[in-house]
Structure 1
């Protein structure tokens, strides 16, 4: 749900570029990306495979470094921070959901959700994790390991883990791509329900037009440039 707040843009990019040098010369992946995302907004970024969607997400989240331009997260320019500084800025404020779930196989559902809470110094990590898993409809799966869960259940654990610290921004990279249509729809329902309840910014990379239509805004990457999707 979009919350209008003057000059409140937790995520901005200005003149953002990413290129790599190859034996054939410079390969431009992203060119002059300008973007502002308002508090509480859900934004979908679409594009063909290989268009740079995941690269853009990584740059906005500070997981990768830009070749040129600036990304500002919560008012702090990422280019002025080293890797540890970027990680410290994200801690407790940024959540991630990926298509591959990225759960730790040796931990139960509860332990997977508790881990980032404990790392962030949450006062009552276990109760917060239990609450998050309950919201995700997994109150009966707390002691199950990822191998004992279906793909949809694993992604719901990943959503619980992402939302449990009450992040200001959630980055989601193809969160339903590894799921069948029915399961993907259930996960999408949960994703937007949690996002609306929390007012978290959602920046979603997807090739799924139906999923993208549920966002406040849709943008399209074409030849490295970000355009309004019409």
Structure 2
């Protein structure tokens, strides 16, 4: 489902270039759960962003479900993400002016889903927030906000879910509950799960771990 071929990423820096990723090649099968781990600065989040089509490679190819992301322009990648991909971020990225229900409904409405409200309610109930649907993010704890983000990600029924440090802003107990919910729904939905984490407890729940070191894949390919 996901294939990276000699992926490189370089960015300009002080008259030269900084090489963040150095020829990454990997494959992730449909329905697989994979953790990308490594020290800070190893290129984990950069790789996740490239795999998700949030950024462009400097060299190499990324192919998802027979679609070469390098052949798409920015609008094309945005359409592809809306159709195929879901996200869960460390910072939750909820819209503060919308309730939990409205935050989950928004991507569904943008896709033109006729039953957006029903789908949003269903997934909020699945993450145990049935009584908090009308609350705004500021009225919710960090763990509750992340549960809204998980409901939002799964409600669109993506084929692939990308998560960037999904427990990074949570205490250990709350983070453990979030991990349980993430894998419970992921297993039920059969979604491909690709996540970046420093949390080895979370990484060990995945079927496979990809280890990055200074921009190179040193284990798990």
Bin for the TM-score computed over the shorter chain: over 0.9
Write the mapping of 1:170-189 to structure 2, written as runs, cut at 5 A: 170-189=161-180
Tell me the TM-score normalized by structure 2: 0.97
Count of residues paired in the alignment: 220
Root mean square deviation of aligned Cα? 0.9
Unpaired segments of 5 or more residues in structure 2?
none
Secondary structure of the residue aligned to 2:103 is: helix
The aligned residue for residue 4 of structure 1 is: none
- Counterpart CA distance in 1 for 2:129 and 2:63 is 35
Q: Tell me which residue corresponds to 2:35.
A: 44
SS at structure 2 position matched to 1:92 = helix
Give the structure with the larger helix fraction. 2
TM-score by length of 1: 0.94
Match of 2:67 in 1: 76
Partner of 1:5: none
Encode CA deviations 1:61-108: one digit per residue, 9 max, x unaligned.
Answer: 110010000011221101111110001111132100000000000000
Does the CA-based 8 Å contact 2:123-2:151 persist in structure 1? Answer: yes
In structure 2, distance between residues paired with 1:21 and 1:142: 44
- Structure 1 residue runs without a partner (length 5+): 1-9
Query: Could you tell me how far apart the structure 1 residues matched to 2:102 and 2:198 are?
Result: 31
Decide whether the 8 Å contact of 2:163 with 2:195 is kept in 1. Answer: yes
CA shift digits 1:124-145 (9 cap, x unpaired): 0000000000000000001000
Distance of 1:202 and 1:22 partners within structure 2: 33
Alignment of 1:126 onto 2:94 = no
